[in-house]
């Protein structure tokens, strides 16, 4: 048997897509990537590289931002998915967890989770079983199930966002910057949960991350985007060892640790200070 992340079945294929915002701003300039079933694939790159745009192209959330895929194709299980409504895509098993955690602040944690089941015609029994599954991965959410989501911590809100996506019983989760604004320990906790969802439930992940270090420790394969193009891709282990990746993205080189300010002009968010 193959380990998770090593299946050959190509689930999601992005072929040479170009994305334009507002009819004029060319943002993706021919991005191709392949997400195997049962794997964790990382999409890496600095601010404005095009990670979120790539995820939204897949989940068909670009239209609401006046963005459009003008070239190339996107297929899921070999079928073109570009013209599907986001909710139809959810029914096919693809869901996006948006950057910045988007919870319904005035609803409780549990009510937020329940909104994730809306595309399904499941009965209450199934839905309760799924809630229990989410709580088994996120015990903290169970403790806080009756709290108003707006008063929970950033880490808990990220858990709510992922938990809500799980309620649609997805096959593939597009996860945008799960580490954003979270302390290192929580980032670790969230990534460990992603890994166990991948190991135990067989969930496939495509995750966008600026935090190259943590993403490459948990992912099987990575793509590095710069200015709307894939500049490098490979198995996560190889990328971690690659001298350019070390220098430019992991902030290390043979001369020792480098600060990100010394590395090109990336202005990274102060992600540990929230």
Ligand X SMILES: Nc1ncnc2c1ncn2[C@@H]1O[C@H](COP(=O)(O)OP(=O)(O)OP(=O)(O)O)[C@@H](O)[C@H]1O
Residues constituting the chain: 274
Residue 251 binding target from ligand X, Mg ion, none, CB below 5 to 8 Å by type = none
* 101 part of the interface to ligand X, by CB under 6 A: no
Binding footprint of ligand X, residue count (CB under 6 A): 16
- Cβ atoms < 10 Å from Cβ of 241: 12
> Per-residue x/- marks for Mg ion, 84-123, CB under 5 A?
---------------x------------------------
Alpha helices in 16-60 (DSSP H): 51-59
Q: From the list Mg ion, ligand X, none, which binds 47 (C-beta under 5 to 8 Å, kind-based)?
A: ligand X
Do 95 and 170 form a contact (C-beta atoms < 8 A)?
A: yes
CB of 84 to ligand X, least distance (A): 20
What are 40's two structure tokens?
């964790």
Q: What residue has token string 């300010």? A: 261
Evaluate whether 224 touches 44 at the Cβ level (below 8 Å): yes
- Least separation, in Å, of the C-beta of 181 and Mg ion? 13
- Please tell me whether residue 179 binds ligand X under the rule CB under 6 A: no
User: Would you call 209 helix, strand, or coil by DSSP?
Assistant: strand
Window 59-98: contact mask with ligand X (x via CB under 6 A): ------x-x-------------------------------
To the nearest whole angstrom, how small is the minimum distance from the Cβ of residue 57 to ligand X? 9
Q: Rule CB under 6 A: is residue 210 a binding residue for ligand X?
A: yes
Which residue is closest to Mg ion by CB? 52
Give 33's strand partners: 14
What's the closest the beta carbon of residue 109 comes to Mg ion, in angstroms? 25
Task: Decide if residue 268 touches ligand X (CB under 6 A).
Answer: no
Specify whether the CB–CB gap between 219 and 40 falls below 8 A: yes
Phi/psi of residue 135, each to 5°? -65, -30
Q: Which residue has the tokens 């943590």?
A: 214
Structure tokens at 187: 């980032």
Q: Rule CB under 6 A: which residues touch ligand X? A: 21-22, 25, 27, 45, 47-53, 65, 67, 99, 210
């Amino acid at each position: 048997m193959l380990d998770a992340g090593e299946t050959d079945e190509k689930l999601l294929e992005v072929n040479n897509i170009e994305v334009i915002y507002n009819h004029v701003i060319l943002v993706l300039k021919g991005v191709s990537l392949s997400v195997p079933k049962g794997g964790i694939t990382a999409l890496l790159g600095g601010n404005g590289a095009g990670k979120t745009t790539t995820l939204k192209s897949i989940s068909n959330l670009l239209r609401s931002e006046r963005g459009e895929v003008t070239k190339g194709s996107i297929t899921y299980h070999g079928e073109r998915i570009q013209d599907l409504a986001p909710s139809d895509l959810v029914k096919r098993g693809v869901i996006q967890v948006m950057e910045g955690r988007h919870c319904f602040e005035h609803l409780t944690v549990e009510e937020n989770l329940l909104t994730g089941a809306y595309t399904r015609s499941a009965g209450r029994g199934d839905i309760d079983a799924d809630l229990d599954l989410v709580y088994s991965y996120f015990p903290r959410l169970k403790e806080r199930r009756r709290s108003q989501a707006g008063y929970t911590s950033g880490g808990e809100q990220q858990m709510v966002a992922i938990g809500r996506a799980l309620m649609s019983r997805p096959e593939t989760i597009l996860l945008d910057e799960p580490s954003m604004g979270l302390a290192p320990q929580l980032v670790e906790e969230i990534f460990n949960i992603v890994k166990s969802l991948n190991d135990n439930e067989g969930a496939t992940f495509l995750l966008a991350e600026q935090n190259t270090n943590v993403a490459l420790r948990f992912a099987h394969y990575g793509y590095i985007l710069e200015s709307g193009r894939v500049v490098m891709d490979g198995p996560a282990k190889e990328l971690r060892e690659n001298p350019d990746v070390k220098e430019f993205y992991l902030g290390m080189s043979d001369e020792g640790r480098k600060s990100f300010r010394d590395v090109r002009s990336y202005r990274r968010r102060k992600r540990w200070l929230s």
